[in-house]
């Protein structure tokens, strides 16, 4: 098989060449890294990576093929994939190269992902351009320099559902704002027999109230949460009238709806091994994927921190008991290891709704 040329250029002038996989083409966006060792297809299909080029720090990716049953969206949402070594002959076909080629996707292998990760940690997240089928580094750097910053992009509408839909259940009625919801969030809610009314990102508070929900749930999503203006309006108008829960971007939306602020992190948290400390001091290892965070000191009176990140102290969840709002920044539905974070979030959510 003929190996394609490929190059990854960064806005700071750095470029690296490697072996292309998938199809010839180019894409530009933020280069972000994930520290997970497994679950690469779950990450690549996570709608929160829309607008980003995803790099894996684990040396070999693709060793168990393409695991379709765990896709978090029907198709890959990351713009491009960057790996140190691509396993081209896994025990369970198809391999990642074949899947990328069949689905018109872009990837590069054979690059020094360790160097690129260290650069990102030192300098912060960088804009990048991936070219497959050519190795013109100067052109890749030029393209990286002209791509708009992710904060300037409205990415949510591209991954949210187009129309409302219902997934019937015999349990509590939950209104869901889909900002790019992962499949496992739906699965976790359905495991508790929830009757789900799923709405697009631009839903109005009145439309949510029409379905007479027992609670409002706000999902993950890509990019800067300030662009989710309709979801923020829903929190502002509905807070105190029904319980509200949020995960990842949903956490940020709830904070914005209460008047708090968010900010872009230096390089974010992405991976399945992020430690968080609960308010009672207990530690959980969590799955995360976010480049924005809630400014803890901006939380309004009545709201308090539930979880904080052990590594850098950033806010990983908050609650407002008076308004009945509970949110986490990490992904309790992701099952990166033991399901210890799914149980306290979702079981507590439904127990409170009884």
Catalytic residue set = 248, 331, 333
Residue 334 backbone zone (phi > 0: left; psi -120 to 50: alpha; other: beta): alpha
Residue 92 C-alpha from the chain's centroid: 26
d(CA 143, CA 70): 33
Number of residues assigned to the chain: 354
Token readout for 30 is 């933020």
Helix (H, G, I), strand (E, B) or coil at 78: strand
CA atoms within 13 A on the CB side of 145: 11
DSSP code of 218? E
CA nearest 80: which of 131, 121, 39, 15? 131
| Residue written as token pair 């791509």 | 147
d(CA 93, CA 67): 9
Phi, psi torsion values for 67, nearest 5 degrees: -95, 85
Pairing of strands 195-199, 244-247: unpaired
């Amino acid at each position: 098989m003929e190996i394609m040329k490929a190059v990854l250029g960064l806005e700071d002038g750095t470029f690296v060449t490697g072996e292309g996989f998938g199809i010839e083409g180019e894409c530009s966006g933020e280069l972000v890294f994930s520290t997970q060792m497994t679950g690469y297809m779950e990450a690549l299909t996570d709608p929160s990576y829309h607008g980003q080029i995803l790099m894996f720090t684990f040396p070999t990716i693709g060793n168990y093929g393409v695991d379709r049953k765990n896709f978090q969206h029907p198709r890959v949402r990351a713009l491009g994939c960057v790996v140190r070594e691509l396993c081209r002959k896994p025990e369970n076909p198809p391999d990642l190269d074949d899947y990328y080629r069949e689905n018109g996707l872009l990837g590069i292998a054979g690059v020094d992902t360790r160097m690129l990760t260290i650069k990102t940690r030192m300098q912060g997240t960088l804009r990048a351009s991936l070219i497959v089928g050519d190795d013109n580094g100067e052109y890749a750097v030029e393209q990286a320099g002209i791509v708009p910053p992710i904060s300037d992009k409205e990415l949510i509408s591209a991954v949210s559902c187009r129309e409302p839909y219902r997934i019937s259940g015999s349990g509590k009625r939950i209104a869901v704002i889909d900002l790019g919801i992962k499949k496992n969030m739906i699965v976790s809610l359905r495991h508790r027999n929830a009757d789900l009314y799923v709405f697009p990102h631009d839903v109005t508070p009145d439309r949510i109230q029409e379905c007479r929900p027992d609670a409002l749930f706000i999902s993950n999503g890509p990019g800067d949460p300030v662009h989710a203006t309709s979801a923020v309006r829903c929190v502002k108008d509905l807070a105190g009238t029904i319980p509200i829960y949020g995960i990842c971007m949903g956490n940020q939306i709830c904070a914005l709806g209460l008047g708090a602020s968010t900010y872009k992190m230096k390089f974010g948290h992405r991976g399945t091994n992020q430690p968080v400390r609960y308010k009672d001091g207990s530690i959980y290892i969590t799955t995360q994927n976010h480049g924005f965070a809630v400014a803890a000191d901006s939380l309004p009176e009545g709201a308090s921190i539930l979880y904080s990140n052990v590594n850098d102290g950033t806010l990983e969840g908050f609650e407002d008991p008076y308004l009945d709002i509970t949110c986490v920044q990490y992904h309790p539905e992701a099952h990166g290891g033991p399901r210890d974070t799914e149980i306290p979030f979702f079981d507590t959510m439904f127990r409170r709704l009884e």
